[in-house]
Amino acid sequence: MTTINPATTSEAEPSTRANPFPGADTHGWTRSFSEALALATDLPPLVTDVIAAYVVRPKRYLTKARTETFHRLRPGVIVKDERTGLRILSVTMHGFAGTPTEYNERVRSAFHSPAQLDASPDRVLPRLTTGFGPNGTALPFVTTVEPVEPAVLNKLLFIMDSALTKADQKRDYDLAEDMTVVGQTNRTMHVPFVRTITENHQGIPVIRTAVDLVAIKGSNRSRARLKLHGLTARNIAFGVPASKLDLPEPKPGQPAPPEHIADPGTWAPIFADTLREAFDTTGHRLHDTAQAAAEVATVSMQIIVGADNPAEFHNTVFDPNRADHRRPQLVYPLAEKSTSDMRAVLRAAKASGRITEPVRAWLAGEDSEPDALPGSATDARDRRDRALLAMAFPKELEHDREVARVLGEPDRYYDSREENVTLRLRMLSAAIAEGYRTRWNPRLLDGTLYSSFIAKRGTLAGRPDWRTALEQAEADTTQLPDFLVTRGLHWLAEHGMVEADRGSADGQQGPGRRSGVSARNALLLKPVQAIALMREIARANDTGTSPRQIDETGAPVDGTVADRTWFSVTFPKTGRRKKKADDRPSASDSTPPQQPEEDPEQDLLNAQLRLVMSLSSELPQSFLAVLAVAREAIVAGTAAGKPVLADLPSYSVEVMEQALTRLKRDLVAMQAGLTDMKVDTEVTIESLTEQSANAEGEQ
């Protein structure tokens, strides 16, 4: 039986999605985690308090001997990477923890080198160094040799953001949108960066510190997570707006809170509680933000907190990032890369004599099945699917090692990685899709197996045929997850009932995108309907028709089609629950941050982004809302046996017609304005709708 990852299995009621935001933890456990981390790493409280503020349920990472009065980190929470000598803390953190870094190898070319003759000072990255304690001891965090001016840091962060945007555009999907559906499947790696910023507070020079957990691996993923939470790297350095926090009203005589709060020890727990409240409260100003960030409400994260040579920490800490960029992944589409990986695995199996050339060609999608057996189309396809399952996750140790060598995986026993399981799942899913009428996104199976599935000798070989598998699931519903992962999700994807994300092979669009984990969890809550749906899909495949909808008793409903909308309503998304908060002063710098002057280029970029969002999303959504009302009126008219506008005063009809005429002309003017904006610095867009609104306001 397949080992399914229980961490991604929902415990929520089928009709409602549980709030995925855990809220802040108790002050006492957060403080204990900070102290335990300091004890284990020699990091100063300035840093450990910030890390602890982001940790979800810190209690689970702590232990205490009966003879001791203080807590220590549990064994295994910090592990040494023998290849790099780095000590890595692995914890679950709030999804708004961690930021991209301007020192990432991927964006270095966007900055000027100090060696350039015409280098612009505000485009040169400040030199990094290892942090030091009061006695000169090297400590495992990075900082800059000299403090940085606010305007310079603001410019550097803007350059970084622009460079990452350009790099992200090379993807065949939007990363932030992808995360709203599938969440984050691979962990990011971070390091504490103590920024020192020179500021002027009412004529007094001040050096403010801001502790940032910058990404060594996963800058774009970190940036996308912040974006979904309504934050940017700039907020971490210069403060989160108080408008994003549910702050208590100040008591009489107390000063109002600052407009921006930069100390994570203060804003992080408040923001965690705010998001939890916003998720369940439709009218909350951050409700849409919480809904968008739900899949990354919490994430697994790695933080580098030590090294063999502390004095060289600022150099060695970037080794994992440099290694990744010396061996970059191929840039062609994921479906193509994944099927190429499977072809390489099949070539190796053929070369070693495990399979014949006709079998290799069949499994690679290059030829028909050799010595085909009689049976239905579903039977034939299922034989190929099961053979590919055994090739990707074989039972024999020698065969599995062969697959690992082809894919360049590390030794399974010493360095099992979640990304290796994910890449094999994508390879498998893409290869299976070659035998179907529709090619889906290979990310469909992401997260459905344990991250240690390979290391623990997991196998997908020896699966029963689809008929037997469904009979077993009917007798024992614990068998159903295995069928859904190995066959069912692909069956659903072929008929468009689920799609992994915008990066799908066919550029799929529309509502109802969700991860395979989400679809699986929803199906498990209704096993009778789920099993009946699988049988109905098999029938439809064999007869060349569309699958019918299934009622709650498991009976197909004649005259209906099981499409994506029906599936999303019948098997709604599910979620998970978590915990609450407390209070204590942080050792991090609580100095109110001075806001840097806005850069004209940054203002332009922000305006561009707002314009894109308004025209591409907000305007269509407004029209869809009006369209829905119009269709509702048509239905009401049909039910009443009257034309929709019957008995309506003529002036009401005229008002609607005039409004539509004005909007039509305004859209033409806006389209012409967009053309002008490409070449002119000053563009005027006249609006009849605006003129009408102004005239009504003056009356």
Strand boundaries in 497-610, DSSP class E: 549-550, 556-557
pLDDT at 597: 78
In terms of pLDDT, which residue wins out, 18 or 501?
Answer: 18
Of 489, 354, 481, 497, the C-alpha closest to 433 is 489
Name the band, by pLDDT with cuts 50, 70 and 90, for residue 506. Answer: very low
Per-residue model confidence as pLDDT tens digits over 454-499: 888 899 999 999 999 999 999 999 999 999 999 999 999 999 999 8
How many angstroms separate the Cα of 273 from the Cα of each of 94, 406, 590?
A: 11, 47, 20
Alpha carbons 467 and 253: distance in angstroms, whole number: 74
In terms of pLDDT, which residue wins out, 119 or 571?
Answer: 571
Per-residue model confidence as pLDDT tens digits over 6-49: 334 333 333 357 999 999 999 999 999 999 999 999 999 999 99
Kindly state the percentage of the chain with pLDDT values over 70: 90
| Mean pLDDT of all residues belonging to the chain | 86
- Are 446 and 426 in contact by the 8 Å Cβ rule? The answer is yes
Of 91, 26, 33, the C-alpha closest to 62 is 33
Residue by residue, DSSP assigns 408-466 as TPPPTTT---HHHHHHHHHHHHHHHHTTSSS---GGGGTTSB-TTTTTTT---TTPPPH
Q: Any idea which of 242-246, 525-529, 603-607 has the lowest mean pLDDT?
A: 603-607
Q: Structure tokens of 120?
A: 């612009």
Q: Is the pLDDT of residue 207 over 90?
A: yes
Per-residue model confidence as pLDDT tens digits over 218-246: 888 999 999 999 999 999 999 999 999 99
Q: Structure tokens of 160?
A: 């970084």
- Within 10 angstroms of residue 92's Cβ, the number of other Cβ atoms is 20
The answer, as to whether pTM is greater than 0.75, is no
User: Average pLDDT in the 100-111 region?
Assistant: 83
pLDDT at 585: 66
